[in-house]
């Protein structure tokens, strides 16, 4: 397997201490403004973009009542990230925003055009410790919460959706390892993640099952000290560039298709054969080709609990929250372009409100609603999980609804932003270009089908007494 990484050495310049460069970022915000102030900066740089409607005045301490101090602190950091006018204020969000603005954003169009892995961004995520954010401090990580990492994913997504999804998908696997990876081998793997050496991918989907991960066709063939696995994976995001791939299979050749276990395929014991290319409309930097996996699995790299337990006890919840953070960040990126366009138009006609300003104010309502929904569901999960009710049926409905609404909102926001920007957004050569954002947004609709999620909710709501 290819590592997909540049040579390690000195930290990337964008991650080193010192004053930020005087630069303009065409995107949702500015990183590092010149000393003569924002007003003069905007006069000079008419095409610059700023975050639209970034405050959430209706959210406050009431959401944090009846929680322990640590939970309240984590939620406050996440709330800070969602309400920061230009730059995220939480520790992780600050780092993620800086990487997004100075590394991921400038190469996002190239990553998209070439459908290439964003190696420079992932190197920065390694060096910054964001790949190890969820690893407990005692194992060398940052001991961050799911809320904080969701804020980091959202911050990166405002600059490059593919990079944000890579961070989110890796973090889902780390979350599962922290929660259920109790074998010596899996705890050692977490220590490797903490050093930045491990980028984890996922290969749960399987050819012939239509994306249904509750069943498996392949099975772990027993062997001395472990077993051998052959699997036709439907899609493995950044599989060629990962240091380990987490996957599922039937426990044994004679096990039922729902009797599944989860395991880690380490790069040194894994062979990948590409079976389908990744030439898609959007999310091209995730490099989600299909692969035939052939791996030798050690006993200690097999999770000690059934996959159904892992999925119900945190995995499904973390997946929805982290990936939905990317859709919210993408919607904000589109809204920011529209906001910048309206402000530029307003500066050209002082005293007259641009016709598109009213449409922008309507757009801001939808974006604010998405932020509130993401935060509300994330806090709801944190509170229920702490109380031992993380599998609550009402929560699962809320999580599926979150994915449907945020992914659909990303598309509608991008389309509305295009209507506001007009030809300036339609052209690929302007600061307001929305081509990549619109194409990426449509990926959210099919990345775990919304129809399937709505169907699951329909069946559950039909027997529940309350919404």
Query: What is the pLDDT, as a whole number, of residue 15?
Result: 47
Q: Is 90 helix (H, G, I), strand (E, B) or coil?
A: coil
Q: Is 374 helix (H, G, I), strand (E, B) or coil?
A: helix
CATH of domain 310-461: 1.20.140.10
For residue 351, what are the β-bridge partners?
A: none
Q: What is the pTM of this model?
A: 0.82
Nearest CA to 291 out of 236, 230, 216, 213 is that of: 236
Residue 38: which residues within 8 A CB-CB, separation 6 or more? none
Q: How far apart are CA 191 and CA 189, in angstroms?
A: 5
Q: How far apart are CA 155 and CA 95, in angstroms?
A: 9
Topology of the domain covering 200-301: Butyryl-CoA Dehydrogenase, subunit A; domain 2 (2.40.110)
**Distance of CA 326 to CAs 49, 131, 301, 453, Å?**
19, 16, 30, 18
Pairing of strands 260-266, 244-250: antiparallel
For residue 219, what are the β-bridge partners?
A: 250
Q: How far apart are CA 45 and CA 36, in angstroms?
A: 13
- Residue by residue, DSSP assigns 285-345 as GG---EEEEEEEEEGGGB-SS-HHHHIIIIIHHHHHHHHHHHHHHHHHHHHHHHHHHHHHH
Nearest CA to 2 out of 247, 267, 291, 273 is that of: 267
Unique residue bearing structure tokens 């409905």: 397
For CA atoms 370, 374, 377, 379, give the dihedral sign. negative
CATH of domain 13-194: 1.10.540.10
Q: Where are the domains of the chain?
A: 13-194, 200-301, 310-461
φ/ψ of residue 195, rounded to 5? -85, -10
Asked whether this chain's domains 13-194 and 200-301 adopt the same fold, the reply is no
Beta carbons of 104 and 160 less than 8 angstroms apart:
yes
Q: How far apart are CA 180 and CA 263, in angstroms?
A: 11
**Distance of CA 462 to CAs 152, 400, 401, 459, Å?**
36, 15, 15, 5
| pLDDT tens by residue, the chain, 467 residues | 444 444 444 455 444 444 333 333 333 333 333 333 433 333 333 233 333 333 232 222 223 333 444 544 544 444 444 434 344 568 899 999 999 999 999 999 999 999 999 999 999 999 999 999 999 999 999 999 999 999 999 999 999 999 999 999 999 999 999 999 999 999 999 999 999 889 999 999 999 987 789 999 999 999 887 899 999 999 999 999 999 999 999 999 999 999 999 999 999 999 999 999 999 999 999 999 999 999 999 999 999 999 999 999 999 999 999 999 999 999 999 999 999 999 999 999 888 889 899 999 999 999 999 999 999 999 999 999 999 988 899 999 999 999 999 999 999 999 999 999 999 999 999 999 999 999 999 999 988 888 889 999 899 899 888 87
Q: How far apart are CA 155 and CA 164, in angstroms?
A: 8
Nearest CA to 293 out of 327, 270, 319 is that of: 270
Beta carbons of 393 and 354 less than 8 angstroms apart:
no
Unique residue bearing structure tokens 């401090």: 137
Q: How far apart are CA 253 and CA 218, in angstroms?
A: 8
DSSP, res 210: T
Instruction: Please state the length of the chain.
Output: 467
Nearest CA to 131 out of 54, 194, 70 is that of: 194
């Amino acid at each position: 397997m290819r590592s997909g990484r540049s040579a390690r050495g000195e930290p990337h310049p964008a991650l080193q201490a010192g004053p930020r460069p005087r630069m303009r970022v065409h995107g949702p915000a500015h990183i590092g403004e010149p000393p003569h102030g924002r007003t003069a900066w905007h006069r000079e740089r008419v095409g610059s973009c700023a975050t639209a409607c970034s405050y959430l005045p209706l959210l406050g301490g009431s959401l944090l009542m009846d929680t322990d101090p640590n939970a309240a602190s984590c939620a406050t950091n996440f709330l800070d990230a969602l309400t920061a006018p230009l730059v995220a204020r939480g520790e992780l969000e600050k780092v993620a925003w800086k990487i997004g603005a100075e590394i991921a954003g400038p190469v996002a169009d190239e990553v998209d055009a070439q459908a290439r892995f964003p190696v420079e961004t992932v190197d920065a995520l390694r060096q910054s410790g964001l790949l190890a954010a969820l690893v407990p401090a005692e194992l060398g990580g940052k001991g961050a919460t799911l809320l904080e990492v969701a804020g980091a994913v959202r911050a990166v997504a405002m600059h490059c959706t593919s990079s944000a999804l890579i961070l989110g998908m890796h973090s889902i696997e780390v979350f599962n390892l922290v929660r259920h990876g109790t074998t010596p081998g899996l705890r050692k793997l977490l220590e490797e993640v903490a050093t930045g050496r491990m980028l984890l991918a996922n290969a749960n989907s399987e050819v012939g099952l239509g994306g249904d991960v509750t069943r498996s066709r392949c099975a772990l063939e027993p062997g001395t000290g472990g077993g051998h696995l052959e699997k036709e994976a439907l899609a493995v995001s950044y599989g060629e560039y990962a240091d380990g791939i987490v996957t599922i299979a039937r426990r044994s050749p004679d096990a039922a298709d729902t009797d599944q276990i989860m395991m880690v395929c380490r790069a040194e014991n894994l062979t990948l054969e590409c079976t389908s290319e990744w030439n898609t409309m959007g999310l091209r930097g995730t490099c989600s080709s299909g692969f035939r996996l052939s791996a030798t699995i050690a006993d200690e790299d097999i999770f000690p609990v059934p996959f159904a337990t892992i999925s119900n006890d945190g995995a499904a919840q973390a997946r929805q929250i982290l990936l939905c953070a990317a859709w919210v960040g993408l919607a904000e990126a589109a809204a920011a372009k529209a906001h910048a366009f309206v402000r530029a138009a307003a500066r050209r006609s002082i005293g007259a409100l641009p016709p598109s300003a009213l449409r922008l104010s309507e757009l801001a309502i939808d974006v604010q609603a998405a932020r509130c929904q993401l935060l509300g569901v994330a806090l709801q999960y944190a509170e229920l999980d702490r109380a031992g009710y993380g599998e609550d049926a009402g929560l699962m409905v809320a999580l599926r609804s979150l994915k449907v609404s945020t992914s659909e909102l990303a598309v509608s926001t991008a389309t509305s932003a295009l209507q506001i920007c007009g030809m300036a957004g339609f052209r690929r050569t302007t600061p307001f270009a929305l081509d990549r954002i619109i194409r990426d947004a449509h990926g959210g609709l099919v990345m775990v089908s919304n129809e399937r999620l709505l169907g699951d909710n329909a069946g559950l709501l039909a027997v529940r007494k309350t919404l």
